[in-house]
Structure 1
Amino acid sequence: MAIRILVVDDATFIRDMIKKQLRDKIPGVEIIDAPDGARALAQMKNQSVDLILSDWEMPNMTGAELLSTVRAMPNAEKTPFIMISSRGDRNHIVKAIELGVSDYLSKPFSAEELLKKVFKQLKIAGKNPAQRVSGATTQGIAFASVDVLTGGRAEAVAAAPKPANPFANSSASALLGGKPAVKAVETTKAAKGKAQLRFSNNRTFSCVIREMSLQLMNCLMQRSDDLPGLFDQAVVDIETGDGNNLARVNGYVHSIQAGENRPDTGVVKIVIRFVDNDAEKFETLSKYIAQM
């Protein structure tokens, strides 16, 4: 009998990435999905599932509420449940454990992290699916998302050459802690705020926000050897003037390019497109944008 996995997340982009990775690695897997907890429960009324992967922050019914409901269901109380969240702080994880979660996966995550936890929980549940050998895992989950959007026709992208002096004479780098240049004052005036960008494998970058809407954020950050790639998952922590962070926003790398018209630029422009479908986050972003 085929393994059936339920994927729950309000972001279509995240659901598509997860489904692509699972189908690539588990032959014959059956995947059903839902944008929130309420519709996930509706899916479970007429069919049993072997594993649930659910986001925490969702409209209508959160992942925590879904988990509590599932644990109270006689036919699903022991179903492996992996909670996915952009909040990886200790208190959040402890709460998930108290609710009966089987495992916890922090956003942004790599394909390796996802698959490792999925296979671990399936094995505990007595399911030992055959693994399909492919290059999807080593390429990472971002490449799987490219396949979803392009039908598997993703092109290879050459790595940028390492500059001899990445921040020399860079006007934009003044925003990011580099030495000020002639045009630094003009660029600073255009800056709207600051944020932290988090990617898989614990990569974190500080950035200066240039423009922001409810759909995307355009910002500048320092060039480095471990820059993210197109379609990489991202979590954005926007900094407020009082030193606190706004609600975390989930997204992906929509575009990335040189910050200046020169091969040795020390700054890159990056656009993060948001994928959340959460009214509370929209309200928080709206207030922040109005104050920019």
Structure 2
Amino acid sequence: MAKKLHILVVDDATFTRDLVKKGVKLGYPGFVVHEAANGRQAQAKLTTGGFDLVLCDWEMPEVSGLEVLEWMRSDENLSDIPFVMITSRGDREHVVQAVERGATNYIVKPFTNEKLFEVVTRALTKSLGVSAKALKKLGGAESQVQGGDSAAVLAGGLSGDLNIAERLETDASVPSSRKERATPRDKVIAQVRHSGGTIGCLVKEIDFNQVVVVFKRPERMPTLLDQATFDFTTDEDGRTSRVNAYIHALQAAEKRQDTDILRMTLRFVDDDPDKQDHLGYYFTVIDG
């Protein structure tokens, strides 16, 4: 009986972990996929042995993905396990940093199932010394991988208003003294990246849990529940942050059925303290 391959998915955001696990199982249903909610859990599980691949988020509290990577590469029992860094940091500096520390490969959020399948395949065929065809046989792959479907029909029944949409409890670590939300009076431009491309948008409302934006219909529509990042910059201090999220709601921004102006709500799934701090400052800068 062929050996089952064991994959460890590490991310502090449950939603992202679930997406990655689902993507791996979609491509390789025969793999055994384990999960860890943070770097410390990952280290504890890896110590038990038996893993063939690690898919790990970079930005996690306490023990980051980079620290997990360095720890693995310094342990002779774990140093040969392929390690794929998963993060929203796609600039050259961070790519080089991950590779220099021993990352096997690198994948930037948001990504498609096809991209995840490609990266997993490349990492395992190299480490196991087998062909892609042999790996598919090991993983029971039957060419099931599909990309995100276009959102041809907008979900008009889902509200994108912060005062109507379901509230997620604000993290207790967020100091009560700082601004909790913002409703810009002037035009505030930001960017949303999803698996189909990048969208320039205007921020309508934002808090620590979600953001509501409006944008012109793009060539490739985003998909409900798709991974995304909300990218924003504050010129006052020169900071740029990319907050991991998922697409919670899509609807027309006007009453006309043929409108090209759309409204989207992104739910944040990112607890990075630096990004939380930057969001708080951002609220102060843009609030009308």
Structure 2 alignment gaps of length 5 or more: 155-182
Q: Do structure 1's residue 22 and structure 2's residue 24 form an aligned pair? A: yes
Deviations, residues 62-99 of structure 1 (Å, cap 9, x unaligned):
11111000001111101000011111111111111110
Pick from 272, 284, 290 the counterpart of residue 266 of structure 2: 272
The CA RMSD measured in Å over matched residues stands at 2.1
Q: Do structure 1's residue 199 and structure 2's residue 207 form an aligned pair? A: no
Q: Do structure 1's residue 139 and structure 2's residue 147 form an aligned pair? A: yes
CA drift at 1:44: 1.3
CA–CA separation in structure 2 for the residues paired with 1:242 and 1:131:
53
Q: Do structure 1's residue 101 and structure 2's residue 98 form an aligned pair? A: no
Tell me the residue number matched to 1:130: 139
Tell me the residue number matched to 1:11: 13
Distance 1:120 1:65, change over 3 A: same
CA drift at 1:47: 2.9
CA drift at 1:244: 4.0
Q: What amino acid does structure 2 have at the position aligned with 1:40?
A: A
CA drift at 1:239: 2.7
Pick from 208, 213, 235 the counterpart of residue 229 of structure 2: 235
Deviates most, 70-79 or 282-291: 282-291
Structure 1 vs Structure 2: percent identity of aligned residues? 37
Deviations, residues 11-51 of structure 1 (Å, cap 9, x unaligned):
11110011112122223321111122111001112232100
Deviations, residues 99-138 of structure 1 (Å, cap 9, x unaligned):
0110010111100000111011111121622342254x22
Q: What amino acid does structure 1 have at the position aligned with 2:103?
A: V
CA drift at 1:223: 1.2
Contact 2:24–2:117 (CA under 8 A) maintained in structure 1: yes
Q: What amino acid does structure 1 have at the position aligned with 2:141?
A: R
Task: Report the secondary structure of 1:20's partner residue.
Answer: helix
Structure 1 alignment gaps of length 5 or more: 144-155, 161-187
Q: What amino acid does structure 1 have at the position aligned with 2:188?
A: G
Contact 1:192–1:211 (CA under 8 A) maintained in structure 2: no
Deviates most, 79-88 or 18-27: 18-27
CA–CA separation in structure 1 for the residues paired with 2:242 and 2:198:
14
Contact 2:189–2:200 (CA under 8 A) maintained in structure 1: yes
Task: Report the secondary structure of 1:125's partner residue.
Answer: helix
Aligned residue pairs, count? 249
Q: What amino acid does structure 2 have at the position aligned with 1:42?
A: A
Q: What amino acid does structure 2 have at the position aligned with 1:247?
A: S
Deviations, residues 243-281 of structure 1 (Å, cap 9, x unaligned):
945321000110010010001212100001101122222
Contact 2:111–2:227 (CA under 8 A) maintained in structure 1: yes
CA–CA separation in structure 2 for the residues paired with 1:8 and 1:105:
14
